[in-house]
Amino acid sequence: MNNQLLLVSPLIVASIFSIVSAGFILKKDRSKVSFWFAALMATIALWSFSYALELSFVNEGLTLFFAKLKYVGIVFSPVAWLFFSLSYTKKSFFVTKKSIIGLSIIPLISLSIIFTNSIHHLFWATVTFNGTEGISLVSGTSNVFFWVHTIYSYVLILIGMAYILSMLFRTKDIFTKQNMSLLVGVLTPFIGNIFIVFDIIRLPYGYDLTPFLFVLSGIAYSIAIIYFKFLELIPAAREEIFEHVTQAIFVLNKNMKIIDKNMSADNLLKQGFLSVSNEKIIGNSIDVLFQDIFPTGMFQELGINIRTVNLKKDVENRWFEISMNPIYDKRDNLEGHLVTLDDVTLQKSTEGKLKEKIDELQQFKKVTLNRELKMIELKKHIKKLQGQNKGADLK
C-alpha cells in the first residue's frame, strides 16, 4: 500500500497541475494559443491519470485497459505541443483543419492498433502483466508500429522545440524566461522518455519514468504562468511586425544587394512605381529599382540620409521619403543596410494646398496693402485740396 501511494501520488499531482493550468489559461484567454496549451495539458493529465489507475488496479483486465487508455494522451500530446508551438510563435497560418486532420492520422492509426493489438501484435509483440505489492502494470516488447509511433512523436516534439528555440534567441527579459520555462517543461519528460524507450536506464518492473516527470513540467509551466505572465504577455514575432509595417522595406547586405523585403515593398513593386526587370528582386542591386530616378551608385553615397522623390506610374503621381540606415552587429561591424520608402503623398498634397493658401493670403495682403496706401495718399491729397480752398476763401 505504501509503495502504491508513493508511486501514484506524483501522477495524481501531475494530473491536477495540468488540469488547473488548462482551466486557468482558458478562463483568462480564449485565443488559439490558449486552446492548444490547454489541449496539451489535457493530454498530459489523461496520460498521468490513466497511468495512476493502471498502477492502482490489481485486476489484469482493468490494468490492461488503462495501459491502453493512457496512449490517448501519449499519441496526441506531441500533436498538441506542435500546434501550440506554432500558435505561440506566430506561425498559426500552419494550424488549419487540413493540418490538424493530417497530423492526427498517425496517432489515430496508432490508437486503433493499440486497442486491437491482441489480434495482430503490431504494437507490442508480447504483453506481460506484472502485479506485486499492491502495484500492477502492463509491459510489452516493442514491435514495428511502436517505433512508427515513437519516431513520429519525437519528430513533432523536436519541430515544436525548434520553433520555441528560434523565438528564444530573438526575445529578451521576461519573454526569454517564458520560453526557458516552456522548454524545461517539455524537455524534462522528453529526455526521460528517451532514457526509458532506448533502455538507457531501467526502472524496477518496467515503470515508465515519463509521467512522473510531468510533476516537474507542471512546476515549470506554473512558474511561467504565475511569475512570467505566460500567455498574458506574448512576444510579437519580428516577422509579423516586418510584414505588416506600412513602410516599404528592403534589407540589403554589405554589397548593397537586396536580401529581403516586406509585403508593403511587394505591393509597391506590383503597382509599378519602381523599375522592375524580369529577373528576381532578391539578389539584385538596390540601384536596379531606382535606375530611372537616381544615378547608379547613389545609394553608396547616400549613407544615413533622407531624400524625398516623386514616383510616377501612368497618370498617378506619388511622393516617397526614402531613407537608408546601416545595420550593425553587437560588435559594431557593418552587416548591411535598411532602405525604407514612406508614402508622403498626402503630406505633400497638404503642404501644396497650404502653400497655395499662403500664396493667396500673401497676394490678398499685397492687394489690400496697396489699396490702404492709395487710400492714405488719396486722403492726404483731399486734405491738401481742402486746405487750398480755405486759403482762397479767406482772400
Residue 207 pLDDT: 80
**Helix (H) or strand (E) run with residue 265 in it:** helix 263-271
For the 245-343 domain, the top CATH level (class) is alpha beta
Contacts 24+ apart (CB under 8 A), 281-287: 282/258, 283/257, 283/258, 283/259, 284/257, 284/258, 285/256, 285/257, 285/258, 286/250, 286/252, 286/256, 286/257, 286/258, 286/339, 287/256
**Cell numbers for 164:** 520555441
Residue 136 pLDDT: 77
CA distance 188 to 84: 18
Residue 290 pLDDT: 74
Residue 358 pLDDT: 72
Residue 244 pLDDT: 75
Phi, psi of 323 (to 5 degrees): -135, 150
Residue 115 pLDDT: 95
Residue 261 pLDDT: 85
DSSP string for residues in 54-98: HHH---HHHHHHHHHHHHHHHHHHHHHHHHHHHHHTT-GGG--HH
* Model pLDDT for residues 240-262, shown as the tens digit of each residue: 667 678 888 888 888 888 888 88
CA distance 286 to 288: 5
| Regions of the chain where pLDDT drops below 50 | 302, 304, 394
* Right CATH for 2-238 from 3.40.50.300, 1.20.1070.10, 3.30.930.10, 1.10.286.10: 1.20.1070.10
Residue 393 pLDDT: 54
